[in-house]
Structure 1
Amino acid sequence: MKKLEQQVATHDADIRPATENEINAAEQALRMHFSEEYKTYLSEFGLVASGATEIYGLGVPATSHLNILSAIEPLREGKDYPQQAVPLYDIGDGYYSLYDNRQCKILTWSMITGVVEISDETLEAFLLRVIFDIK
């Protein structure tokens, strides 16, 4: 996640690195195992906010809209929410970018229709594209 780290510093983006205890507690609360890639994101960044773009994560109170623990609950009520996925980004109009910890894939998911797309992008590539428009 070196490229993301460089862009966060260059753009002075807000991050909130999560502690190992926060990460472990979130895994237990959500009843899932985070991939190493996702754990790295959480421990190095926690979440990322730059301008109007906000990426969900940890490192903020559980009541924060950007905390995956509070953000995931209403999403799990949507159509066929993937069990091992966590929210990354609110695309709008009921569509979300999710990270599937089992497949290590980025999913585009709709509250109404379920998964509509599975991307081969890495988590870092997705974050660079969405936050900083770097392809």
Structure 2
Amino acid sequence: MSAEEDIKMEDPQQVPQDEQEMVYNPDKIKILPGAAEDGTAASFQIVDEDHTLGNALRYMIMKNPEVEFCGYSIPHPSENKLNIRIQTYGSISAVEALHQGLDNLSELCDVVEDKFAEKLKEGDFTNEDP
């Protein structure tokens, strides 16, 4: 293992900003029991997330024509856990649909951030106080 890989595993803060997204936390998401044997349906639990990610991710996953169903729930308001269920028609797995949804959501956020920064640089805005 190289020193660079060692840094990525040990301390994500030392990794350059453009490489930080490559750091994977295996405790962040897990597949819940009850997944279909063929992989077309599965439930996932994402820790330390709420409706903000849940609704946006559900929307992005449902835009995929290969996805039959996607829904999410917060099991209990005092627990910071998000459960998401994905069922596909069979051409892709639920795990693939989740990855595609996360990638699409990330790309959308990048576009919004870029457009926002572009408008700030232009300076063509006013600040109106009520």
Greater share of strand residues, 1 or 2? 1
Q: Whose Rg is larger? A: 2
- TM score, norm. by length of structure 2: 0.25
Greater share of helix residues, 1 or 2? 2
